[in-house]
Structure 1
Amino acid sequence: MSKAGFNYLMDMDGVLVREEHLVPGADQFIGELRDNDTPFMVLTNNSIYTPRDLRARLLRTGLDIPEEAIWTSALATAGFLQEQRPGGSAYVIGESGLTTALHNAGYIMTERDPDYVVLGETRTYSFEAITRAIRLVENGARFIATNPDEKGPSREGSLPATGAVAALIEKATGRAPYYVGKPNPLMMRSALRAIGAHSENTLMIGDRMDTDVRSGLEAGLQTILVLTGISDTTTAELFPYRPTAVMASIADLVGRSRNPFEEKSGE
């Protein structure tokens, strides 16, 4: 266990930021963790951006989080493939967050007989690229997707995300992808390794029951659901599993990071 008590994994959107704005108290909580040298990792299923990109985005909201404390589904996917088939090849649908992670893992990007088709998030899904992916999967390429999220937000409304496009490819090929990102506990375990932590001493903070809480639970972590994102108390009750605790927001953890299950003095 860290000197500060628990180690922390936490989701980004809906926990620390919401629609490009800081969730009140998030900066204080992160500052407390850094002051106490508490190991932590910020997680996101979004594979578009590199940790450097995300650090810059968070800085604009007032959050100072080092690149090495940001863990994306792209990094988890690259690490998984590096372990499965070192020095392999992939046909990739995605953006710089994913291609950079795969290059850094020693992978070759190719359209010719790749070991894997790797599907990630992108702002512009190309019908031509999806068609090529379908044909490569039909010809024997293994199908990997960074995360199962079916839609994402935009200023104009919902956008189709990785899970929706993966469903299209699966329907056309009859081959289901292997999803690396949340709720796969593999992403939790890879993040734990990255900070040298153990599940028994680590908390997962998230805003979604179906991804954050589920993946934390399946990885053996205690979990905290905050109500500043997707899930609320009503929808949380519909799931067959429960978080360890429910809190209004991450602000409720300020001053109690060593043991968030103890009440603050005076309460």
Structure 2
Amino acid sequence: MSESAPIENWLTDMDGVLVHEGVALPGAAEFIGRLAERGRPYLVLTNNSIYTPRDLSARLSASGIDVPEERLWTSALATATFVAQQMPGGSAYVIGEAGLTTALHEAGYVLTDTRPDYVILGETRTYSFSAITTAIRLIKGGARFIATNPDSTGPSAEGPLPATGAVAAMISKATGRDPYFIGKPNPVMIRAALNRIEAHSEATAMVGDRMDTDVLAGMEAGLRTYLVLTGSTTEDEVERYPFRPTEVRASVQELIELV
């Protein structure tokens, strides 16, 4: 891929790129505004499956960033799209919040604990031991195991919280079955996003704050990748990875000129 090829489409992570703890990061509102002004196809991506696109649009708006709900792409939406393609009209036992259950309902899925085709694990702040036990028994009984994302921890004002990947590990230990993770760094999530905005990888850039999810997913999907230093990764940490982003920038503010 030519480094000088024009970028026509943009995919960007949300937390650590546009916002941090509900506060807009430098240049975030201007970057999204420029994309809209120039009519550039774009999606804001998140591995968080708790919220619906409408919820996320409202939360971003409260931070001063105007992102319509159709411009949001979550691991919940990617998961619903994936299972609907694999097994149309199927059924699932779900551990998760409204973002995941709504996406699956809209994809035509029945949510049940009776012989489901899938057990689907998503993000939630109220993991239930009873629900996890049910998931283990269903998987051992033959249900396929899917998880929305592999993140082992998530952020909170008090510090890290156990997230989907950590709970998936518990279920895997009990069942001997590993889940298929849909969210970043799986390029399935990126390719589904590209299809949604009818974009080609050669003309698309991915912006993120994490090497192990955003940059890796973008690279494996054939996108140009920009790492910003307003989130999880420091410039020194970039050197520890066997792959590199196309460019490292201080913040998304430095990308406005490229739109």
User: For each residue in 1:184-206, what CA deviation from the matched residue of structure 2 results, as whole angstroms up to 9, or x when unmatched?
Assistant: 00000000001110000000000
2:116 counterpart SS class: coil
Cross-structure match for 1:72 = 74
Long gaps (5+) in structure 1 = 258-267
- 1:11 match: 13
Residues 137-216 of structure 1 correspond to what in structure 2 (within 5 A)? 137-216=139-218
Q: Which structure 2 residues correspond to residues 18-167 of structure 1 after superposition, within 5 A?
A: 18-167=20-169
Q: CA deviation at 1:145?
A: 0.1
How much identity, in percent, do the aligned residues show? 65
CA distance in 1, matches of 2:158, 2:230: 21
CA distance in 1, matches of 2:122, 2:7: 35
Q: Using the alignment, how far apart are the partners of 2:145 and 2:24 within structure 1?
A: 36
Structure 2 CA distance for aligned equivalents of residues 25 and 227 of structure 1 = 13
Equivalent residue pairs, number: 254
TM-score by length of 2: 0.97
Which runs of structure 1 show a deviation greater than 6 angstroms over 4 or more consecutive aligned residues?
A: none
Partners of 1:94 and 1:131 lie apart in 2 by 14
Query: 1:256 offset after TM fit, Å?
Result: 2.5
For structure 2, the residue ranges without an aligned partner over 5 or more in a row are 1-5
Distance 1:254 1:104 in 2: 35
Q: C-alpha distance in 2, partners of 1:158/1:256?
A: 34
Give the deviation of 1:31 after TM superposition. 0.8
Secondary structure (helix, strand or coil) at the match of 1:63 reads: coil
Alpha-carbon distance in 1 for matches of 2:7, 2:209: 22
Provide the aligned C-alpha RMSD in A. 0.8
1:238 to 2:240 alignment: yes
- CA shift at 1:146, angstroms? 0.1
